[in-house]
Amino acid sequence: MSSTDSAPDAGSPSKSVFARLAVPHSFNPDMGPAEALLAVVGTLVRIFGACILFALWGGFSAWAWSAIGSHFWRMAAAAPLVLVFPAALAAFMMTVTAVGRRIGPGR
């Protein structure tokens, strides 16, 4: 068994030297400057957008919690306030991904 049997794409002349290295599947070493810029901007939008969403969600949840007078309704509202946030965060992440794919140079 030769060394090329374990890595069939290692001798492919169409790939760059960096593409032949073992890198995570989400990183494309052959991307151009526009694709790299879009990837960086998408990452920053995800980071800062998620932070803003978390801050606003927490603030409005605290406001809603304090506006409810009854202890029973506070407990009833706690689960939706906590459980809807991951759905909102997932929707935000999918939206950023969809917009990035739509305006990306590799459409």
**Phi and psi (nearest 5°) for 34?**
-65, -40
**Per-residue pLDDT at 11:** 54
Whether pLDDT at 107 is above 80 = no
**Per-residue pLDDT at 27:** 65
Reported as a single tens digit per residue, the pLDDT across 41-63 is: 999 999 999 999 999 999 999 99
Q: List the chain domain ranges.
A: 1-27, 31-103
**Per-residue pLDDT at 35:** 85
**Per-residue pLDDT at 104:** 78
Claim: this prediction has a pTM higher than 0.95: no
Whether pLDDT at 20 is above 70 = no
